Structure 1
Amino acid sequence: MQIAQPNMPSPKDAAKAMQGGLSEPTLQTQRIFRAIMDAMARPGTIKPTKTDAKPPSGLCPLIGAVLATLADADTPIWLDEGLKTTPAVTDWLTFHVGAPFAVEPARATFAVLSDAQKIASLDIFAQGQQDYPDRSTTLIIAVDDLCMDGDWILSGPGIKTTTSLGVTPISPLFQDQWIANNNRFPRGVDVIFVAPDAIACLPRTTRIKNQKTGGR
């Protein structure tokens, strides 16, 4: 597995990286973990979630808290171009999360995408195996807003009939990419959408229909 070892920061940068962590790590991560598990079990449900984490500019504070909750030394993280080229962000994650960085998206347990309008093709990430579908990447995507009266009509396991979800912004290619992701089941990726103060999840079993276009 190709894992990038971050460069050792200078003493000054290291001191900065130590700042901005969760004030009550145990309580916050327990609360965030419960919110994520509930959102995965009930796709499309928006879970208001707060954190006092203060990572460097460019990394959404709640994404920093989500990574501190889910990732560890055994779960490589892949960062998109805007994040991996920001030393303050990688230093902060190294100190507060302790996970290595994956050079290739297919080697990542978690992938962080800071620009939801420019989502890479979902099939470049780890898809899992037929016998081990859990060996796949979970995408953590930063968005500006989540709402319950959006254009997406969701169906599938965990949804009684259908539910609606709005994600702003999002790549116009995402819905077609998600259909292809559905078709790879039981392989495929799962998604955690992270707004400034809320999360919503799309497990690979969830289907999307756009009520405006009528597309699947």
Structure 2
Amino acid sequence: MKCLIVDDEPLAHRIIKNYCNNLSFLDIVKECHSAFEAINYLNENQVDLIFLDINMPKLKGLDFLRTLSNPPLIIITSAYQEYAMEGYELNILDYLLKPFSFERFLKAINKAVSQKKLLDTSEKTPNIKVTPVSLPNNENQESIFIKGDKKTHQVQFDSILYLESIGSYVKIHLENETIISLDRLTNFENKLPKNIFLRIHRSYIIAIKKVNTIEGNRVKINKKEIPVGSVYKHNLTKFMK
């Protein structure tokens, strides 16, 4: 996995490199000490994962992230926890609060490995056009047909936990499996019943009755904690009244 470090602190570079040296599948291909240096590198090269600091001179990390039209996997490494929600709204993979242990670093890397495997698997079948079938406006509708993995799945609404947008893909998390679709989350939002499903983040739609707990800006479904985006928070508030 090709990795890029973007951080203005030399100590942060040393720590990340030392951690990466323990994992043979991670390859630090470039170290950048500013966002502008990273922009120049990415104009000519591709990477799989960026370790990105937030508080950098001239161009902040999150502002740099907004400039990327097709960003790779992003792990934020920052001493400032107050930017976590904003980071997750930009679809980052994980947020490491400095100083972080190797165990916490490894947890983030495991997420990256799993995500890359899913994306690589989907890219092996680019000729398949994967879109959900339009639903009729019928209150008795109980399922949706979704194409994925060279098959068309009839998915019961009751089996859906939540939908997660990752780049140009959507993962439909079911009780017993996960289906990857090449459609957009907005299309699912328009076709799924509004009384059953709720969009709470630019990257997430949840099944309302699958929610276990709501705490602050987090919704918990099974063991998954899902962030609530500030733009969508009012949607959730309506159902809590």
TM-score w.r.t. the length of structure 1 is 0.29
Higher relative contact order (CA 8 A, sep 6+): 1
Name the structure with the higher strand share.
2
Which structure's CA Rg is the greater one?
2
